[in-house]
Every structure is written in C-alpha cells, then in structure tokens.
Amino acid sequence: MSGAKFTEEVIRLAGEEIRTCIQCGTCSSSCSTAHLMDNSIRKLIRLVLDGRKIEALASDSIWLCTSCLLCTVRCPRGIRPKAVVSALRQICEREGIRSRDASFERIFMDQIRSMGRISEVLLSAAYALRNPDAAVPIMEMGIELLSRGKVSLDPGSVKGMDEIERIFREFENE
Amino acid sequence: MDPSERPMRIGVYICHCGLNIAATLDVEELRRFAEMLPNVVVARDIQFTCSDAGQNTIKSDIAELKLDAIVVAACSPRLHEPTFRRTITEAGLNQYMLEMANIREQCSWVHMDSPALATQKAKDLIAMAVAKAALLHPLETESMPVSRDVLVIGGGVAGISAALDLANAGLRVYLVERRPTIGGYMALLTDVFPTNDCSICVLAPKMAEVYANPMIKLMTYSEILAIEGTVGHFRVTGVTKPRYVDPTLCKGCINECSSACPVEVPNEYDFGLGKRKAIYMAIPQSVPLVACIDTNACIGCGLCAEACPADAVKYDQQSEEFKLDVGAIIVATGWQPFDASRKEEYGFGRYRDVVTTLQIERMLNAAGPTRGDVVRPSTGEIARSVAFIQCVGSRDQTVGNPYCSRICCMASLKNAQLIKERYPDADVSIHYIDIRAGGEGYEEFYLRAQRLGINFIRGRVSSVEEGDDGLYVHYEDTLLGKTLMKRYDLVVLSTGLEANSDAEVVGNLLGLSRRPDRFFEIAHPKMRPVEAHIDGVFIAGCASGPKEIQVSIAQGSAAASKAMQLLFKGEIELDPTVAFVDREKCIGCRLCVDTCPSRAISVKDTAFVDEARCKGCGTCSAACPVDAIEMRLFSDEQILAQIRAATAVKGEYPFIVGFLCNWCSYAGADLAGTSRIQYPTNIRIIRVMCAGRVDPSFVLEALRRGADGVLIAGCRIGECHYVSGNLHALQRVEVLKGLLKEIGIDPRRLKVAWCAASEGDILARKIEEFVEELRDLGPVGTELAAALPSGKV
Amino acid sequence: MLEIEKDMDVEGSHVICRQRSGDIIKILDYDYKTCNGCGICISLCPTKALQSGPILEIATGLDAPPVLIDLDACVFCGMCANFCPVNAYRFTVNDVDIKTDDRYPRLLRKAEPNERCLPCTLCEPVCPTEAITVVFNKTRDDFGPLREGIEGEISVDREKCNLCGICARFCKAFVLLEREKDPRDLRPYEQLLIDEDLCDYCGLCVGICPEEAISVKGEPLDATLDLKGSIDVDQERCIGCGRCAIVCPYEAMDVVKPFEGEIRLVSDRLVKCDPVGCHGCFNVCPADCWYVDDQGRIGVVEDQCILCGACANACHLFGIDVTRTKVSHTPIKETPWASEWRDAIHAILTGEKRRYDVSGTLAPPAVERPPPPKIKAPERDPELLRRIDESLRRIDEAMRTPKVRYLWERAPVEEARRKIAARIAQEESG
C-alpha cells in the first residue's frame, strides 16, 4: 500500500472529515492516556494525512486508546479520532503488524469466545505468560487482590455461548 | 417596425466566456445549430460577449440586420441581463427584447465531465431561448414617486454611521434601537485594536451627533412590529416601550433615583460582572441621557419618583405605537455573543474565574465594575496569570458554528497587551489554533504583543478545571507535541459572534434570507456587500456576519450611499413585468384576489391589477381558470414555447423539465455553477419569477411532449420572496399529483424541491436523486403500458 | 440625595415597620396574632425579607410570630400586604392603605349579599372572621311592654321552620338552641323554643317569618310592623371561605374565593395523626373547616377551605397537600412593576419567585480621598516686587528696538546676549 493509498484507506474507514483536521490538539489534550503515547492522536492524524504509513502503524498510541470518545465529542471539525485509531488497528491486524501490546487484545477476545466473559485472574495469567516483563507486578497485584477478595478464581458462566460464537463467525467471514 | 407585421428577426450570440464555456461546450456546433433555428437571422460566437467588442457586435447587427430580438447564450441572466439590456437599448431596441440562455452556470460549469451531453443540453437551452424571444414584446417602464425617508434598524456603530451619512446628505432618518441607548457593543468596549485608542472616546461624539442632528429622529427602547409595502414605500409600524421616565424632564443625573432604588440586579451592560439598580442608565454616555426603569425588576416602591428632583419619573407612561413611511430600510441589527456556558468543558457559569471577552472588556474599562482592575471574580484580587482561550464558539461544529468570528484573535491580542501593560509581571498566555491578523496594521499589532512578552501557545484548550489554587487549563502544545496542563488565576474565553436572535423578527418581516451560519445573506457575497435580496433593503455591520468596527462603519456608509442612490431621484422605475387582465376573458371569479400574496388585485365586475403593488410573481396567472390574467414577461405562451422547444428533441433519458424560481432555486442553480458542483445533464431549466407561477398546464404540456419528469423548485417554505407563492405551488402540485395518479401516471414524475440561494449543493443533489428515481420509473408512459393489456398502447 | 430611614417597633401583637423617605412614611403593620403562618408572603417577597418562624410550635401553642421580618432587606413594596389571605398585614403610604391603590394588584376575595338576601341571621354566626353583622330596625320591645293576662296559643311548624333566627332577634319569647360547631353541618342552631312566659300572643311574629311557620291564636296587637334588616360584610375581614353562602338557605350570598386548587390529605402519612393532641391544623385554619370524624380521624371540608396552605405548614407529619392553580386578583395595570407583581402572583402558585442574585458581582473599590491639605498662601513683600519690576524694565526698553530683536532672533546666542546686554548698559548710561 502506497502512502496515498494508505491515507485513502483510513479515510474510507474513519470518515471524510479527517481531511479537514486543523491540528488544534483538542483530541490529544482530551485524551486520558495521552501521557503514555509516543505520538499524540493529533499527530497520528497528521501522519495519516501525510501518508506516513510505517510511522503511523508502528505507533504504540494506537493500542493505548481506551475508546472513551472524549476526542470525538470535542473535535471542532466533527472528526472521529477514535475511528482513526480503530482504522489503524484494523489495518495493523490485516497486515499482521502487531506491537507488543496487541497480544492483550488477542487474549481478551479468545477468553470471550471460550467463556463468554472475562476472568481477571485468567486474563492476567495468560498475559503474564506471554509478557514475562509484566509478570512480576501482575502477580504481586493479583495476590493482593485475591487476599482481599476483590477477584475470584471462578470465572462463572454466561448464557448464550452459541450466540457469541455466531457473532465471532460472522465477523470472521466479513 | 411592429414585429407582428413580419416574422421576428432574431440574433443569437454564443459566448465562449474565454474557456469557461468553450472548454466544455462545442461552441461552433452551437452556433451552427442556432443558425438553423426559426426566426434566427444571425448567429455568432464571441470570445467575451460582455466585452465592449462583443456588445458592439450586437449593436451593429441590430442596426444592419434590423434585428427585433436578441438571444445571448452566456452566463446567468442574474449576472449580465442588465448589461445586455443596456446594450440593446443603446442600439434602439426595447430593453425587454432580450432573452438569455444560461449555458455557463447551468451547463458548462456543472457538466464538465460530459461535454457531448452538455452541448446537447446547451442546444436545447438556446432553442428554448429563441422560442421565447420570438414571443417577446416591448415593455414600457413607468416610474413612481417614493418616500425619501430612510429607516435604520439598530443603533450600533454601523447603524450610527449609516444614519449620520444619510442625514448629512439631507435625507430624513428614523433610527430605531431596541435598547435604551444607542452605541451597541462598541460603547461597552475598552480600548480598540489596532491602535489601542479608547472606544467610547471615539464613539461618544458620533452618538451625540445622532442625537443633535435635526434630520435624525432617534427612537430608542423601540421595536419594529410590522413592515408592509415595497421599495419606495415601506409602511413600518413599531412601538416605543415606556421607560417610565419623561425624557424631556430627566436630567440624566441618575444618582438620585438609582441610589434610592432598593432593587439590585446583575448589570447586563457589564455582562453580569457588576450590578445595577432597577432604575438605571445603561452607560454614563447613554444617548439619550435618560434613565429607564427595568420592568423585569421594579417592585413598585415608588422611591425613585420621590427621589427625582426633576419629577421625571412617570409611572403612568404607556407604550406608544408609531407608523413610518420610508423609501428604504437599512438593517444594522448586529450580533450577539456566543453563550459560553454551552461549552461545558470550559466551565463558564460554574467557575467564577472563567470569564468571557466581553467581561474582560468591562473589567479593563475604566468605567467598568472594577474601574479597570483585572481581578479574579472569586476573590477580588488582581489576577497574576491570565489565559486567553481562542475559538470558543467559533470554528466549532460541535456548537453549530463552523465559521471564524474574525475579530476574536485581534480582541485577545489587544486585551492581552492591555493586561501586560497594566501588570508587566503578569503571565499572559494566548491559547490559539491560528492567529488571524489580516488587516491594516494587524500583523504589526501581533508583533507588538509578541514583543511585550505574551506567551503564544498553539493548541486548542480541551478543558478547564478548577483546583484549590486556581484554574487548570488542559491543552496540547502542538508545536512541542506535548500534552500539558497549566495553572492560571483567570481564564478568558474568547467567545465568538453569533447572528442576533433578536433580529429574527425583523428578518422575517422583511423576508430576508439567512446563510447557513444564520447571519443575513447579502445579494452577492462579493459584488453586492450591503444589499439584501429585497429591493430597497440594505444590510450593514455584523447583521451579515462578524466584522471589525472599521468594516462595520464602512458598511454603514456604503449602505447609506446605496440608499441615497435609490432615493435621491425621488422616484423609482416600476418593473413592467407585472400581471395584467384580459377583461374580455375575465369572469370575475376572485380566485386571483385570494391567491395574490401582494394584495394587488381587486375585482369590480372584472379583475384589476394595481401595477404599483404587483411584484410580478405570477401566482394569479397560474391560478386563473380562464387564462385571463397574463404576465407581461414570463407569459403563458412564452413558457409553453420554451417547454415545446425543450422537448422538441428528447436529447437524453430521463428527461426533466425544471421550473426554478428566480430568487432562491435558480440562484441556487447558479451557485452550483459558480461552485462547480457537478450534476447530471438531464434537466432543462426554465426560469420563472416564483414557483407559484407554474400553471398545472405547464406540467401537463411537458409530460405530454415526452418529459419523463417535471421539477418545480422554489424558495424554502417560509422564505418565499413573494411571501406565499411557494405555498400555492405546493398546494397545486399536491392536487396535481393526486390527479396524475388517478389517470394512471406515476405522481413521482412530479417533484418539488425547496432550496435557498445558498444551497446549490442541495439542488444538485435533488436533481441527482430525481434522475435516479425517474430511471427506476422508466420513460414517461411506462406505467400506462403496464396497466393496459399489451398491444393497446 | 434622598435620605431613607427605617425602624421597627413592637406594639402588642403588632410588629410595625416604618420607612421614612422625605415626606413619605410607609408603614408595614404585621399582626402576628392574625397571621396563621400560611407562608404565601414568604414565597413572594422579592427580597427574601420575610423568613419563616417556628410554625410547627406556633401551631400547637407557642406564642411567637410565624413570620420574621428582616428590616434591612425589606423594600416596602407591599406585596405581602396585598396578597395576605388573612389580612395579617396592613401597609400604608402616608396613612393611605395600598389596597386602595389600583396601580397594584391585590388578592381578590369577597362575600356580597345579593338581592335575594332577606336578610336573616344564619350567616352571621358561621363567619369565622366575624365579618358579617346583621341588624334589624325593630324589636318587640318597640311596641310597648307585654300585655298582662292575655290568653292564646303560639306554635311553630317544625317542617317549615329553617331556624333562620329572625323571630328570635325580634322577640325574646323565641329562644334558639345553639349547636356544637361543626364544619360538616354549618347550621348554627339546633332548635327553636318558645318561652310562653314572655309571649303575649301579639302576633307580630307571624308576619316576619319568611317561611310562614309561626301561627298565633290570641289577641293580636293593633300595630303594623315594618321589619327591616340590614346586613354588612366587612370586606377587610372577609377571607372568602364561602361558609356564609353554604349556610344561606336563599342563595343570597355571592362569594369570590381567593384561590382555586385542591387540598388533599395524604392518608399514608397521617397514620400517626393525633387530632386531639396536636390540633395544629385546627389551630391555624382561618376558615375553621377541620373536623374529627366518628373514627377519630381528621377531615377537612374542601368547600370552605381557602387553600391558604397554613395547615400544610403546621402539620408535622407532612400529611396535608395544598395545591393552588389560580389566584383571584384585581387587574394588573401597565406599570413598571407589572412584571414583578405578576411574578409574585405566579409565586403563589409555584412557590418560586424570580430573584436576582448579585452576590457574585464585582463592585468598584471604594476610593477614599483624604481631605485636601490646607494651603497657606505665602506672604508677598511689596518692596521686593517693586525692585523686581524696576530690574525687568531695563529689558522692556531694549525689546522695543528692532536692532535688539534682530540680534535676539538671528545672532548666535552668545553674541546676542553680549551685544544686547551692552546695548542695555549703554542706554542706561546714555
């Protein structure tokens, strides 16, 4: 995908309004995780418009968005910065570009698919296995939480697992 | 020579308009086509028909070839019809012997991608124009004496400037102001940019001049209730509200009465920062210098009357109605500040130390509530750090204001400078997206602010939070690429300008149209900056969009000079394109009386049209059951001839005949052209003055001759330039649709569209949709074939 | 500048607030004994000058004013007086009652006898504010003393008699037995008795009975009786409860009630109601329309209620709901204060009065100017002045010579000084 094509693809996924960005920074300064990001949301949009695909997709910021949508509510140009993030994630997924943190999403989805819900303990454990760096602090916190009865070892069960499986299939077919 | 004695001799002139037309259309082909049309004696193509050379060609042809009528295929008649009318008048023809084919705005510019179909469309347009031209008649214009008085609505700086210019030129002016004093917002400002001179010091003498000028009748605390009539004779009704203070007795001392008054209310002239009493004077420089009782606060204790040494307080004052007869109206109704509490993330209304531009103006003003100190309202202490947040309520689609308010950058630069000069140690920052300093001396003003040490931070503020020790402003410094938070004592929201919602009444009374930004629309965004769409109505100042003081003053003067042009002759020419009655045919049914939006028709045995009142919309003519009312221009036979010429060759499918009203939808189609908005070539547009002019028989004739669909487009409902013409059109179309269905023709072949002159894109989209719908329906008559047993079609 | 002074006095049950401004004295006279604590004035006061007292305690016997007046805040507008449903306030401007000034709207409620009024005496005792007085022009005593030894019979047809009480006012032989007061049955009398010891069978009573219920046998007195009664309703006291109209057998009283709306008892909350022990609602009701039913539960006769809402304030169980939907008032004239008064009337319905908050506004700092310092003009020595003049004259002379002025304007400064000085010296010596 060339630079121009990349720009077009993000616009197709996230809306024409992106072209009207005035780089005011309302999105980034509304962002609750901006301080953790290498490129702010504003800069991400600039990278997209300039066709800088590699830089944009390599950015950690894509995976730090919590989808709080404050950026989208406040953008004076009616742009949906959250949609840009989603578009970039989608392109990463499609092209197999994964930053380290993408493993979390994968574990998350797998658990939903197999159990219909999230178990904090299993999720943290699975994540810790794949990210040994994070294992120690996760375990420390886990023990603390377990001792206070804040998390449970029993994940519980949900109804309608077949429905959940159907949603996953439908999405995969798309 | 009377054209009825011999066949009409028509000359056709096809304009290249440089490459504007010639790049898309095959002009030579068009010329050859035109030459072959009936009655055409000569057809020429010309580089620029509107040039002297082009006009001279037409003139010499008229003389040499004894032409009776001229067809110019070029741009929109809304642009150059007056030019060519003048041309042919100079050559001895009656000015109404001209017809234009709009092959630029409504052809070459909107069909740039399909030159062949566009050329075919242009041929049809030329054939239609020639067909109409063959039926033109010379019309004589008459003139009517007019009132030379002018009404100026709004006593802000634009209205003051207009009133003074008119009065100094010897015209009588009525200046109507809603508030108790004139002066508008300018009277409340502190120093003004780019010179930092004192606002009221330069305005007050003008205000006083208005009061003293014998040619100006100043009516403050007054409102307009009704406006009837047209250019030359607007009959205006208004009301002056009671101040409950006799202006002839009040000495303007104000202290006596207001210090006795026990009722305190937030002062709207300080934008709520200070307080005033229920009996008050808006500003110390009020004109007229007369106190006023706030009827929303007075509790009736009677102390002010007792305290007044001049016995000027009169509780029995009543509101007084006034009636005016004026020749022209200048609308200078101004603006209103954006309500900053709508941007909840900035905390205005919740945090006391978040203020607006107008409030900081009042704080900086030596006559304001702090006597010029810049303080934190929560503590009353001097603010040591001040942030200006730009673009609050401007350039912001979340509040429906995508436009730039134009003055806020300069206002903040100025206020920041004033603060920095007054408190050199203060930390003053401006949080901006772009600094817009375009204007004489503005960039230098920006430079001055930078040199004073004002901190310019590029990045729009996302939110303001109140902490224990001050306000915290969140933003990304987009030049550093860092998301940051900064503490300030005082935050000033640079609130934008909005269309004045109080002016809506006047706008509706006059039938002024509004742009999508809600400000009043001017007749042409470039060429006619102070004229409204309505003859004799002018717009000055911020009523037509945000402006600086100097531009408002210039516009006031411009509007005044336009009004002078109109009224100095003391008479205006009447448009001869009015309705007239064939008394032989008229059966006196009075239907026309009921349909006429201008109340110009009366019936005594037969109908009679008051030509001074008739505005030529043609709604009556379309309604007349016996075709006894005709229009002098846009007559039935001319329009029918255009329909027949359009459908003579069905150049493409689906084929649409469109009737577009001159004021909104035709103008909208022109705008689509100037904006190069592309739409399908399938439509042939016939210009009518009003959607109400469209006689059902026109629709039938089009369908009968093979049009697959008919589009009738008019002004948006409620915005008709003839008040109710589009409503009549809607009624007629709705009935006709039912009848079409009855006889087996799909009613979807008839479509109405309402669009403003500013909505070229909407019109283009409607045409696109209609083409698609008709493609689904099939050619006209398909539905009949389906309904009948096969073989009987 | 108009001087405005305020003061407050207490005289018995009256709190008297005065404001003097120039020649005008405004007096707000609040009679806290008349006040029943309905709180309407509190809700409509434009400056929050009126505050609620301990209503619950007052309702059950505490002797204290239900409304407290903040004299500093009071602006003497008179709204409280004009809309008090029980006439607890009197507001005068130079002794003229504001209620006579039609520029201000006021609460409208009245009872007016119409042409059907006889009058009889029924309404007089049922009026809770003793606003009705009925008097007759004659009594039996006006016809001389009782004649001795006359035999006869007198009887009253109980079916016809409506206990209107005219006969009893006329002649002492008729005695009315009073009933226990009960709003459910307003009729004041239970029975009409005849004390035949006081009757001489004169027969005058036969003609005055509107129901022709009296018959007398005996020796009629040879006299004609033209009994005329007159009724007076003191509109200053009338609260518009309508009890007079309810009790009237002749539909002879036209009543305008002050408010329209509804009074409702919330039974859930009244479970613990002890009407005999508490009695708060009874005590504050200006229309006496409360009763206790057979089961010992309280009840209210809605027809007689004026919807003042005092009972709702007095009920510690919050068991009474009063809602008003309309206020009867005199027309609001076009005046500067029309809007505020209209809003006050609106506040009677909603309890919410528009008030402007200026607490957050900034006021210019008060500038204190020190008194200007006294200036002592220095003394001048005429001798010295004379000498100065003498010296300066030397230049005067020289200035009038063109030659000097030429030097002055054109020559280099040093040269000019020198030459002109030389010239002056020369002239003096010469």
Chain A residue with CA closest to B346: the answer is A74
By Cβ distance, the residue of A30, A34, A35 closest to B463 is A30
Question: Subunits that touch chain A (at least 3 Cβ pairs < 8 angstroms)?
Answer: B
Q: Please tell me the distance in Å from C98's CA to the nearest CA on chain B.
A: 11
Residues of chain C with pLDDT under 70: 430
Cβ of C356 within 8 Å of Cβ of B265? The answer is yes
Residue-level pLDDT at B575 = 78
Does the distance separating the beta carbons of B391 and A26 come in below 8 Å? no
d(CA C57, CA C97): 32
| CA closest to B373 among chain C residues | C364
Nearest CA in chain B to C5: B260
**Domain end position, chosen among A94, A124, A159:** A94
- B424: preceding bond cis by omega (within 30 degrees): no
Of B214, B128, B170, residue with least CA distance to B644: B128
Which residue in C has a C-alpha nearest to residue B253's C-alpha? Answer: C1
CA distance B86 to B518: 36
Residue B785 DSSP symbol: H
Domain ranges of chain B: 1-139, 145-241+319-334+502-573, 243-316, 336-499, 575-618, 634-793
Inspect the structure and tell me whether chains A and C have 3 or more CB pairs less than 8 Å apart. Answer: no
Chosen domain end from A39, A62, A94: A94
Tell me: do A39 and A74 sit in the same domain.
yes
Q: Which chains touch C (3 or more CB pairs under 8 A)?
A: B
- A74 and A142 in a single domain? The answer is no
State in words which class domain B243-316 has: alpha beta
| Domain that includes residue A64, residue range | 3-94
CATH architecture of residue range(s) B145-241+319-334+502-573:
3-Layer(bba) Sandwich (3.50)
SS3 string, B358-411, reads HHHHHHHCCCCCCCCCCECCCCCCECCEEEEEEEECCCEHHHCECCCCCCHHHH
**Chain A nearest CA to B610, separation (Å):** 52
**Which residues in chain B have Cβ-Cβ distances shorter than 8 Å to C21?**
260, 303, 306-307
Which parts of chain B have pLDDT scores under 50?
1-3, 791-793
Give the gap in angstroms from C-alpha B241 to the nearest C-alpha of chain C.
Answer: 11
CATH fold, domain B575-618, is Alpha-Beta Plaits (3.30.70)
Alpha helices in C37-171 (DSSP H): 40-44, 55-59, 79-83, 123-126, 166-170
Is there a contact between C103 and B375 if contact means CB atoms under 8 Å apart? Answer: no
pLDDT tens, residue by residue, B82-101: 999 999 999 999 999 999 99
For residue C72 the two structure tokens come to 């500093």
- B336-499 is classed in which CATH architecture? 3-Layer(bba) Sandwich (3.50)
How are the residues of chain A apportioned to helix, strand and coil, as percentages rounded to the nearest 5? Answer: 70, 0, 30
Q: What is the pLDDT of residue B788?
A: 58
Cβ proximity of B414 and B191 under 8 Å = yes
Residue of B338, B399, B476, B494 to mutate, interface with A, max A Cβ within 10 Å: B476
CB-closest option in C4, C356, C361 to B274: C361
B262 vs C contacts (CB less than 8 Å): 47, 75-76
> If you count residue pairs, one on A and one on B, with CB atoms under 8 Å apart, how many are there?
65
- Whole-model pTM? 0.77
B391 touches chain A (CB under 8 A): yes
Give the domain-ending residue among A65, A94, A123. A94
pLDDT value for C218: 86
Select the residue from A18, A21, A24, A70 to test the B interface by mutation, using most B Cβ atoms within 10 A.
A24
Name the token pair of A168: 């996953």
Using the CB atoms, write b or e for B416-434: b if 16+ within 10 Å. bbbbbeebeebbbbbbbbe
Spell out which residues of chain B touch residue A76, defining contact as CB-CB under 8 Å. Answer: 391, 395-398, 460
Tens-digit pLDDT string for chain A (174 aa): 678 999 999 999 999 999 999 999 999 999 999 989 999 999 999 999 999 999 999 888 998 899 999 999 999 999 999 999 999 999 988 888 766 566 777 788 888 888 888 888 888 888 888 777 778 888 888 888 888 888 777 777 788 888 888 988 888 886
Which chain A residues have any C-beta within 8 angstroms of a chain B C-beta?
22-31, 34-35, 40, 42-43, 70, 73-78
Torsion angle (degrees, nearest 10) of CA B410, B415, B416, B418: 130
pLDDT at B3: 46
HEC readout, C207-262: HHCCCCCEEEECCCCCCCCCCCEEEEECCCCCCCCCHHHHHCCCCCEEEECCEEEE
The number of folded domains in chain A is: 2
- Is the domain spanning B1-139 CATH 3.40.50? The answer is yes
Tell if the CB–CB gap between B474 and A76 is shorter than 8 Å: no
Which of C77, C358, C362 lies closest to B264 in CB terms? C358
Chain B positions in Cβ-Cβ contact with residue C46 (cut-off 8 Å): 263, 299
Structure tokens at C125: 């005792």
Sign (positive/negative) of CA torsion C94, C98, C99, C101? Answer: positive
Q: Looking at the structure, do residues A76 and A156 belong to the same domain, yes or no?
A: no
Q: Which residues of A touch B484 (CB under 8 A)?
A: 29
Give which of A20, A22, A23, A26 to mutate to test B binding, by max B Cβ within 10 Å.
A26
Determine contact: B180 vs chain C, CB below 8 A.
Answer: no
Instruction: Give contacts of A34 with chain B, Cβ < 8 Å.
Output: 476, 483
Contact status of C337 with chain B (Cβ, < 8 Å): yes
Enumerate residues 296 to 335 of chain C having a beta carbon within 8 A of any beta carbon in chain B.
Answer: 334-335
> C307-353: per-residue pLDDT in tens?
999 999 999 999 999 999 999 999 999 999 999 999 999 999 999 99
Do B145-241+319-334+502-573 and B634-793 have matching folds?
Answer: no
Mutation to test the B interface, candidates C26, C337, C355, C368, most B Cβ within 10 Å: C337
- What mean pLDDT, rounded, does chain A reach? 87
Q: Position of tokens 């023709």?
A: B745
The whole-angstrom separation of Cα B243 and Cα C171 is 66
Query: C4 to chain B nearest CA, in Å?
Result: 8
The closest CB to that of B345, out of A24, A27, A74, belongs to A74
Q: The domain that contains A26 carries what CATH number? A: 1.10.1060.10
What is the structure's pLDDT at A101?
62
B485 to B385, B430, B472, B477: CA distances (angstroms): 14, 14, 6, 10
The CATH code that applies to domain B634-793 is: 3.40.50
Both A31 and A85 in one domain: the answer is yes
Beta bridge partners of B230: B233
Q: Which residues pair with B175 in a beta bridge?
A: B152, B218
